[in-house]
Amino acid sequence: MSFLGQDEQIREYQFRFRYLYISLFIAFFILFSRLWYLQVMNGDKYRQYSEDNRIKKVKITSPRGMIFDRNKKLLVDNRPAFDLEVTPQELYADKEWKKTITILSKMVKMPSEEILDTLERAKGQQNFLPIKIKQDLEQEEVAIVEAHKLELPGINIQMEIKRTNLFGDLAAHLMGYIGEVNPTELPKLNKLIVPGGTQYKMGDVTGKFGLESRMESVLRGIDGEEYMEVDALGHRKKSTNKSITSSLKPKVSLPGKNLILTIDQDLQIAAQKAMEKLYGKKQIGAVIALNPKTGEILAALSQPSFDPTLFSRGVSSKLWSELLNNEYHPLRDKTIQDHYSPGSTFKTITAIAALEEKVIDENTTVNCTGSFRLGNRVYHCWNKHGHGVVNIRKAIKESCDVFFYRMGQRLGIDTIAKYANMLGLGRKTGVNLAHEEPGLIPTEEWKKRRFGQEWIAGETLSCAIGQSYILTTPLQLANAYAAIGTGGYLWKPYIVKYIESPDGRILKEFQPELLSQAKISKTTLDLVRGGLTAVVNEPGGTTFGHRIPGIDAAGKTGSTQVIRLSADKIHTKCESMPFNVRDNGVFAAFAPPDDPTIAVAVLAEHSCHGGSGAAPIALEVIKAYLQKYMPERYSDDAIKAKLKSGTLAKTTRARIKTDDEEDEDAVRTNDINVEPNPAGPPTPEDND
């Protein structure tokens, strides 16, 4: 065995050290390069990451725009709401936390077991995150909790913004409601973001229905941002280093724009009060009022209704279930989403068609004996004793079915449809609200396409008095009568008058849009308007007993069946039938008759008669409008002066009948059309 000398060993290992030095050099070079990359090349970036660990960006939600009526009366606002929150980490740190819960339950009038149950259900989440215990605390509850806050560790009052309809359920369908964005809506909403707008994120709210939805891009503002210093767990530090956050510029939130509507809230209230007076809690129907010279919607009421405020921060499953299962569909807007047979209000259209087609003139008469035979079938008049000899004016005034049966027989369904379409029936009005139904005006070709059957002559008779396949929405009906009152001018209904900035500047003003002018002669319109005026203002008129003395109006009553009636039950007293199978009452009108400034349509479900069930509501709305906007002619003092001077017709001095009197002579003062629908109610696709 040979041993190397010291020098040889040094020479041998010296060569190996060279690799070690190279390895160390490479390692230090890599480390230095990495440090240079992190601190020099990306120093600002990673410094920001570091700051983000202790600086939290907080979204400042922008308030939605407010909604006003035409007179700047506030309808929808953003109001503060106070929620009770518990932070488990801070609560459980106190040994006597159960005592705290007991004290808290008394302060907010909530069982301690319910509070404990809420905390138990939230055990899966991180302890430092607050748990919402109760929403919408009353002011007294907020005050007492805040006064004892030092004695309640982990208990906090959090203020939130609640979208509030100041008039509760009044016009809820028109205003609509908001709700939290769901995953399906998110991509669709973000595609519609205007430049400079804020992207939607989960947890944000959006309009779900009504104007809140249709005008979402206008009402929604731009969210802001602010910064705060937090600890490692994300808690806000009690004492912060202002120099850290001062360099970060917060972003100011911008409120949404305001909507000023064409609606007059006083008319809305008048309509609601009139419905309450007649029906109490059994309010089922719709009221719509228009300016016949512009198309502005002055009032829109659908009952039963709901309070949109309850939806603004999440609706309970119990309330949602109640609304969905209500047989009268409170979530549907009956002014545009439901269509009904117009009943005898449609006779006005038949009268116009007969006059324009020269089938009759003002002197043409028909002898009404109470029934009319066509082939082997007898068609009955609502008045089983008949109306005697009637001309066009008296036929409209007393709503004689036999007269209009004969007109329908002479005209044919296609001619009737021509004039109905001319006045906007059977198609959407174009109002800027979702889910408007088109209604239905049938023709011979339509029935053949829809059912594969030929049109039957008897069906024309039923359609001539507004039954059978004829379907209209209250909005369509009001618009048609507006056109009749103003010489045939058909305007597009609209609901937003102008858009306003938060500081009150008008950003966009909406103008009336004329859709068409019906080609109807002045002579025809004058004759028809004369008959409609007689309906309200002359003895024998179908709503004469319910007129309001001194308030001029022209209109037409109607009632429509909801079930078929056999011949022996045609004249059964409606009020004796079960509520849900009683006839619907309809009334359409305009006022003043000589120069209309308002048109109204009312649908009162299961009210039996148009004269007593729907007309009083419409006349109250008309009265509210005329007294507000034409006080020199229709104020109480002006009416009294006319009565005193004798310039009002003596018939207007008659008192309004009581409910008992109406029950006794309802058949004599209200039209009850009874022709059943031979094929049942058509569905929306029938108008394809």
Q: The domain spanning residue 106 has which CATH number? A: 3.90.1310.10
**Residue 572 in domain:** yes
**377 touches 491 (CB < 8 A):** no
Tell how far CA 193 is from the center of its chain. 24
Any domain includes 103: yes
662 in the same domain as 585: yes
Give the per-residue pLDDT at 50. 64
Sheet holding 297-303, edge to edge: 297-303, 285-290, 598-604, 584-591, 554-560
Please indicate, yes or no, whether residues 41 and 83 belong to a single structural domain of this protein.
no
Asked whether residue 183 is assigned to any structural domain, the reply reads: no
Which distant-in-sequence residues (6+ apart) come within 8 Å of 569 by Cβ? none
Taking a C-beta distance cutoff of 8 angstroms, is the pair 349, 484 a contact?
no
In a domain, 250, yes or no: no
pLDDT of residue 236: 58
Neighbours of 384 (CB within 10 A): 12
**CATH, residue 623:** 3.40.710.10
CA distance 190 to 177: 20
Residue entry with tokens 């009150």: 504
Q: Which of 166, 194, 217 represents a domain boundary (last residue)?
A: 166
441 lies in the same domain as 483:
yes
Residue 210 counted as domain residue: no
Place of tokens 């058949």: 667
Residue that the structure tokens 């059994």 belong to: 282
Which of the listed residues 166, 200, 233 is the one where a domain comes to its end?
166
Rg (CA), the chain: 36
- 676: in domain: yes
In this structure, how many other beta carbons lie within 10 angstroms of the beta carbon of residue 276? 12
Could you give the CA distance from residue 211 to residue 258 in angstroms, rounded to a whole number? Answer: 12
pLDDT score of 687? 33
Res 674: pLDDT: 35
pLDDT of residue 666: 33
Distance, in Å, from the CA atom of 478 to the CA atom of 490, rounded to the nearest integer, reads 11
Do 20 and 158 share a domain, yes or no? no
DSSP class of residue 541?
Answer: -
For residue 132, tell me if it sits in a domain.
yes
Q: Which of 165, 430, 493, 432 minimizes the C-alpha distance to 299? A: 493
Asked if the peptide bond before residue 592 counts as cis, ω within 30 degrees of 0, the response is yes
Instruction: Give pLDDT, residue 139.
Output: 87
Name the pTM for this structure.
Answer: 0.81
Both 558 and 434 in one domain: the answer is yes
562 and 420 in a common domain:
yes
Q: What is the tally of structural domains in the chain?
A: 3
Q: Residue 161's pLDDT is what?
A: 82
Same domain, 87 and 33: no
Range of the domain at 83: 77-166
Same domain, 48 and 145: no
Whether residue 171 contacts residue 495, with contact meaning beta carbons closer than 8 Å, is answered with no
Let me know whether 460 and 607 are in one domain: yes
Same domain, 13 and 107: no
Look at residue 302 and tell me if it is in a domain.
no
Same domain, 13 and 123: no
**Selection from 362, 367, 283 nearest residue 326 by Cα:** 283
Beta-carbon contacts of 541 under 8 Å, excluding residues fewer than 6 positions away, are 397, 398, 534, 535
Residue-level pLDDT at 15:
65
Buried b (16+ CB within 10 A) or exposed e, 417-456: bbbbebbbbbeebbbebeebbbbbbbbbebbeebeeeebb
Instruction: Compute CA 624 distance to the chain's CA centroid, rounded to the nearest angstrom.
Output: 22
C-alpha count within 13 angstroms, C-beta hemisphere, residue 61: 15
User: Tell me, what's the pLDDT at 677?
Assistant: 37
Model confidence pLDDT, tens digit, residues 44-93 = 776 666 666 666 677 777 889 999 999 999 999 998 888 888 888 888 88
| Residue spans of the chain under pLDDT 50 | 1-2, 650-688
- Looking at the fold, whether 653 and 599 belong to one and the same domain comes out as yes
Q: Helices (DSSP H) in 308-382: which residue ranges? A: 317-325, 347-356
